[in-house]
Amino acid sequence: MSDITYTQSGGSNGASVSASRKTPGYMEADIADYFALLKPRVMSLVVFTGLVGMMIAPGDIHPLTAFTALLCIAVGAGASGALNMWWDADIDAVMERTVNRPIPKGVVSAQSAAAFGATLSAASVFVMAALVGYVPAALLAFTILFYVVVYTMWLKRSTSQNIVIGGLAGALPPAIGWASVTGGLALEPLVLVAIIFMWTPPHFWALALVRNDDYTRAGVPMMPVVAGPDATRTQILFYSLLLVPLGAAPLVLGFGGMIYAVASLGLGAGFLALAVNVWRHRIGDVAQPSAMRLFGFSIFYLFALFASLLIERIVGIAPYAGWM
């Protein structure tokens, strides 16, 4: 057994985080622990949105090249997660939601996680450049740097707008997928990026409402910590009102078809209804369950919305412009 102490001072509210805990020796790490550093659940959604960006792009891509591009997106996303856990080890150690991650649990050292993440980051960008293209490689490199340096190292501890600005990193995979096919960018992937970007604040703030005590204890200036739960609920509703019509943009721009029309209408109505419930239910036993329902549904919303575009491409359903 070994003693590990984390200490961190900072954040916009000047909070100090300290945790001292007995932890197992680092020799106990196995493949599963290093895989956990990659944040596999986050990685899976990132890869899926990248796949959709690739599938809606005009032109052809060799299956092996497509697989390589998706693998690089997955590895780059996972590497970002590992570097995020390295930098945030101090606050992870005092948050109930993250206390069992590999570093605070003591099975992987912070130095090993940093080396692991840095190696995978460099490898993903190099392979993407060598085997897929320079434009998707540049976008992947930008995504990793933005998430690790801009969001994790700077924004997360300094502003309540951390999720709003930092959400750009998680929004870019559709553009990387598109560029893997075309070698460039266009309006269509940027619309998908905008949808994910606008989806991110209500998604994460719904969870932050439930985990407010966690973020307060860790000194992370999430919106509920800084502005309060009521202001956060208003912000969730505001961003939801912007997200729902934006979700219909692929129809207007002619790259969404009948399935997408039904999905965007139904999913958007459900998202907005749950956001209104979060805004209305501010106290009592229903407040936190309302927020968790929105958080859970938001994941399904994004997956199903993008899946509808993917299904249309697979079965050959014409986009709206093709109906005219």
Specify if 92 maps to a domain. yes
Instruction: Give the count of domains, the chain.
Output: 2
Task: Give the domain-ending residue among 162, 185, 208.
Answer: 185
Is the domain of 275 the same as that of 308? yes
Residues 217 and 260 occupy one common structural domain: yes
Nearest to 87 by CA among 173, 166, 13: 166
Do 32 and 164 belong to one domain?
Answer: yes
The pLDDT of residue 165 is above 80 = yes
Residue 4 has pLDDT above 70, yes or no: no
137: nearest Cα among 76, 62, 212, 67: 76
Q: Answer yes or no: do 155 and 43 share one domain.
A: yes
**Which structural domain range is residue 52 located in?**
8-14+27-185
164 shares its domain with 252: no
Structure tokens of 121?
Answer: 């980051």
pLDDT single digits (tens) 268-313: 999 999 999 999 998 888 999 999 999 999 999 999 999 999 999 9
User: Among 157, 185, 213, where does a domain finish?
Assistant: 185
Query: Can you give the pLDDT at residue 321?
Result: 63
Determine how many CB atoms are found less than 10 A away from the CB of residue 86: 24
pTM of the model: 0.90
CB 66 within 8 A of CB 1: no
Q: Are residues 238 and 125 in the same domain?
A: no
Same domain for 210 and 81? no
Does 21 map to a domain? Answer: no
If asked whether residues 100 and 245 sit together in one domain, one would say no
- Rounded distance, CA 164 to CA 39, Å? 20
Within 8 A by CB and 6+ apart from 103, the residues are 37, 85, 86, 89, 92, 93, 109, 110, 113
Q: Are residues 142 and 161 in the same domain?
A: yes
Averaged pLDDT, 224-236: 96
| pLDDT for residue 166 is more than 60 | yes
Domain boundary among 160, 185, 210: 185
Residues 103 and 32 in one domain: yes
Q: Residue 2's CB: how many other CB atoms inside 10 A?
A: 10
> At 76, which CATH number?
1.10.357.140
Question: Under a CB-based contact definition with an 8 Å cutoff, are residues 13 and 219 in contact?
Answer: yes
Instruction: For residues 172 and 87, state if they share a domain.
Output: yes
